[in-house]
Amino acid sequence: MFMRKVKQLFLALTVLPLSVGAVETHLSGFGSIIGTSILDGEGYWVEHPSGAGYYVEDDNVGLEIEEESLVGLQGRLQFTPEVSITGQVIMRGQSDWQPTMDQLYISYDVTNAWNTKFGKMRNPVYLYSDAMDIHYAFGWMRTPGVSYNLSAIDFDGLSAMYTGAWGEVSNRTIFYYGKVDKDPDPFLTELFINGEFSTQFTTGGVDENGNFFLQVEQRNTIENLWGISTEFYLDSWTLHLAFMEDSGDVGIATYSDGSTFEEEFPWRDFYDVAISYDDGNWIAITEWNQFKGVYTSYYVTFGKYISDWQVLLTYGNFQGEVKLGNGFVLPDESQVALDTFTISGRYDFAAGIAFKTELLFFKNENSLIVFDTDGDGEIESILLSIGFDFVF
């Protein structure tokens, strides 16, 4: 089934351009085959915006391969030197390899320095926003889950990008505006279903036996989303700064009896600051972000190239600061607080193909989705991941 879907998707993206005559076409692809096993502990959730990466000890006897594996294709139709259309389709094992259109936008180069886009595109809030699903682009097994978990990672709207240089410093700045409608939202649905959220926390509805109805789906809409993301490059250094604000953020929960509950958040700000250094010998990356009324997180990575190997050590921290739509701030004992430490290894053994392995140590004082099954008051786990990343 998987290979049939790949072939169908490939033909759809290649046959279409042939029918438009002289239009220049470009096709590229990427993918990851990731296997993960829980060596010890209760479990772990990667917290990827797609909802992928949920591992629980009861569900994983050996190596779970489909949960995070993916294949993506990106096609571009170049109509003139200034005008093009780009589309990106991704199939994830976690979603039974069903293709989803993650990006589809029209691009126009106004000048050599300015570009505009209109359509569905990636939210540029993170240092690795563009590469979150292209695992070949970085040394970790996956982007650090403590920091890369914003549900609104894609949006429908428009952007204006400036590229320029001042002496030895170059810059890329993106201004953007749009809206989000995820129905359902895969990240929040995964969170609330596996967290066993129910009408106990909202409507209070019960069945004839007095049992609360479990949540089965979560929709998330943002009426107005705007932001600015800028990066400065100097030799081996990169500085990333981003700000985003959303207003009209509405969450709609659906329960097993068909009832719904709607919660509105008037506004939320998001900030991200990152610095990276990579001279081909040593690597250092740190990124901090804060989603006001939701969480604050950061990670620090140090690493080194050793021949064809890349070895990284990463510490990450996440502190929940959830504030409900009615202004109520959850008490500390109900806020998520977690620490992660990873040892990552990457070996580039062929052009466009990399072997990776990662050992993750996870400690969580409170979790909405992974539970304390041994009763020691903490959720602690050790996970081993092995995988291959490729581009073509």
Give the CATH H-level superfamily of domain 2-391: Porin (2.40.160.10)
At 11, is the pLDDT very low, low, confident or very high (cuts 50, 70, 90)? very low
Q: 188-243: per-residue pLDDT in tens?
A: 888 888 888 899 878 889 988 899 999 999 999 999 999 999 999 999 999 999 99
Closest of 16, 40, 38, 35 to residue 27, by C-alpha: 16
Query: Could you state, in order of their start, the residue ranges of all structural domains in the chain?
Result: 2-391
110-114, 241-245, 298-302, 364-368: range with lowest mean pLDDT = 364-368
pLDDT of residue 134: 97
Host H or E run for residue 10: helix 2-18
Cβ contact 349:389 at 8 Å: no
Cβ contact 176:244 at 8 Å: no
At 318, is the pLDDT very low, low, confident or very high (cuts 50, 70, 90)? very high
HSE-up of 113 (CA within 13 Å, CB side)? 7
Q: 331 burial class (0-12, 13-18, 19+ CB within 10 angstroms)?
A: exposed
Host H or E run for residue 290: strand 282-291
Residue 211's SS3 state is coil
| pTM for the whole structure | 0.89
Residue 354's identity, in one-letter code, is A
pLDDT of residue 2: 44
pLDDT of residue 247: 86
At 16, is the pLDDT very low, low, confident or very high (cuts 50, 70, 90)? very low
Host H or E run for residue 328: none
Please compute the mean of the pLDDT values over residues 5-13 and round it to a whole number.
47
Residue 371's identity, in one-letter code, is F
| Alpha carbon separation from 25 to 19, 81, 137, 159, 166 (Å, rounded) | 11, 12, 23, 23, 34
At 316, is the pLDDT very low, low, confident or very high (cuts 50, 70, 90)? very high
Host H or E run for residue 7: helix 2-18
Strands 337-350 and 309-320: antiparallel
